[in-house]
Structure 1
Amino acid sequence: MAHLTNNCSEKERFLCIYPAYINSKKTLAEGRRIPSEKGVENPSCAEIKDVLTAAGMNVYVENKMYPREWNRDVQFRGRVRVQIRRDDGSLCQDKFTSKKDIMLYVAEMIPKLKTRTQKSGGSDSGAQQGEGGKKGKKKKK
């Protein structure tokens, strides 16, 4: 009987990571759990999952809502469950000893994702548009 209970609780023992925990746009009161300068701007569950899967972690996504999230849009839904300890209590990976280790690692790696680096290319064109605006002002003189 105890063995069955252990199997059921296996996934319940996975750590829970909501995107709000590492969102640099959130305040501590809104759920951010790491320093804002180490956070990521509006991370998604998919990005968190991709980073942890690439790191070789056992991960799955749940369609749950963070209780402090006021926006009910689909893009703000979801939480990631990640296993950091095996059934015998040993760490899955030595570099991840705590929830904070996981959050800081994810926040560091998300900006390096291809989807993020391509988006930053778009912001460069925004800077060029800004320069174009300056040229327009010169013409008005």
Structure 2
Amino acid sequence: MDGEQQSFKKWNIIYPIYINLKKSIAEGRQNSASKACENPTCIEIGDCCNHLKIPCAIEHDKACPRDFMQIGRVRFELIREHGSPYNPAIGSSSEPRHP
């Protein structure tokens, strides 16, 4: 495994079910309903990442552990190896938000 592939394995992962408004928290949604959308797809999440200039990779052959019928996930990276963000307008969940 080369260095690029190893760093890819460390990227964050989002399954569409994590932001699916149609799913409950118990079913796998991981954010509030006000920040969710109806039935997102990996392609749509990838398009959003590309629009925000965030490196991403769609993995069509992976399934969500909570719902194995939900196929696909997106790997993304918010922070470069040296610590600077790819898009400074986007903070992490551990950073305070400023209006």
Normalising by structure 1, we get a TM-score of 0.59
Residue equivalent to 1:66 = 64
CA contact (8 A) 1:53 1:59 kept: yes
Number of aligned residue pairs: give it.
Answer: 94
Name the one with the larger helix percent.
Answer: 1
- For residues 7 and 54 of structure 1, what CA distance do their matches in structure 2 show? 23
After superposition, where does 1:82-121 map in structure 2 within 5 Å?
82-98=76-92
Residue equivalent to 1:15 = 12
Q: Which runs of 5+ in 1 are unaligned?
A: 102-141
* RMSD of aligned alpha carbons: 2.3
Output one character per residue of 1:32-81: Cα deviation in whole Å (capped at 9) or x when no partner. 111112211111101100111111111111121001115x2xxx310000
- For residues 26 and 51 of structure 2, what CA distance do their matches in structure 1 show? 31
Per-residue deviation at 1:95?
Answer: 2.3
Residue equivalent to 1:131 = none
Output one character per residue of 1:80-117: Cα deviation in whole Å (capped at 9) or x when no partner. 0011111112211112232699xxxxxxxxxxxxxxxx
- For residues 37 and 82 of structure 1, what CA distance do their matches in structure 2 show? 22
Q: Name the larger-Rg structure.
A: 1
Q: Which runs of 5+ in 2 are unaligned?
A: none
1:32 aligns with 2:5: no
CA contact (8 A) 1:14 1:82 kept: yes
Q: Quick one: which amino acid aligns to residue 87 of structure 2?
A: Q
- For residues 82 and 96 of structure 1, what CA distance do their matches in structure 2 show? 13
Q: Quick one: which amino acid aligns to residue 81 of structure 2?
A: D
Change (3 A) 1:100 1:81: farther
- For residues 49 and 6 of structure 2, what CA distance do their matches in structure 1 show? 21
Name the one with the larger strand percent.
Answer: 2
Change (3 A) 1:40 1:30: same
